[in-house]
């Protein structure tokens, strides 16, 4: 199995990157990151979208306010097209209104194919 880093960046969200699909058909995206909230007791998360379509969320929960937390990494399977229509855009956005990110948060999206 081959791997290709699509996005490796610090926050804040939203973040996006373009990439060329290395294969036609099913692939897996591994997504990880961190975030925080200004109010304790809140769900947080980062949503992954490909070409504007939501693929999944790295979820998390903050018991306390103003503390950066590692989100639960996820592996998301999807189909991509190769060739002339093989350029895609990956986007990371906050999945809840309580999710906050800044320059102290880190994000990575890796394509496994």
The pLDDT tens digits along the chain (113 residues) read 899 999 999 999 999 999 999 888 999 999 999 999 999 999 999 999 999 999 999 999 999 999 999 999 999 999 998 866 779 999 999 999 999 999 999 999 999 99
Return the domain boundaries, the chain: 3-112
Within a 10 A sphere around the Cβ of 20, how many other Cβ atoms?
Answer: 11
- At 91 the three-state DSSP class reads strand
What pLDDT is attached to residue 84? Answer: 65
Q: Which CATH architecture has domain 3-112?
A: Sandwich (2.60)
What pLDDT is attached to residue 2? Answer: 95
What pLDDT is attached to residue 10? Answer: 98
């Amino acid at each position: 199995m081959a791997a290709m880093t699509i996005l490796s960046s610090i926050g804040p969200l939203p973040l996006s990157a373009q990439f060329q699909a290395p294969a036609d058909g099913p692939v897996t995206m591994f997504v990880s990151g961190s975030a925080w909230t200004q109010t304790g007791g809140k769900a947080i998360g980062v949503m992954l979208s490909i070409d504007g379509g939501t693929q999944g969320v790295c979820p998390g929960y903050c018991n306390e306010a103003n503390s950066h937390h590692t989100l639960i990494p996820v592996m998301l399977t999807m189909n991509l097209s190769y060739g002339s229509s093989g350029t895609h855009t990956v986007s990371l956005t906050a999945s809840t209104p309580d999710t906050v990110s800044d320059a102290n948060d880190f994000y990575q999206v890796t394509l496994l194919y």
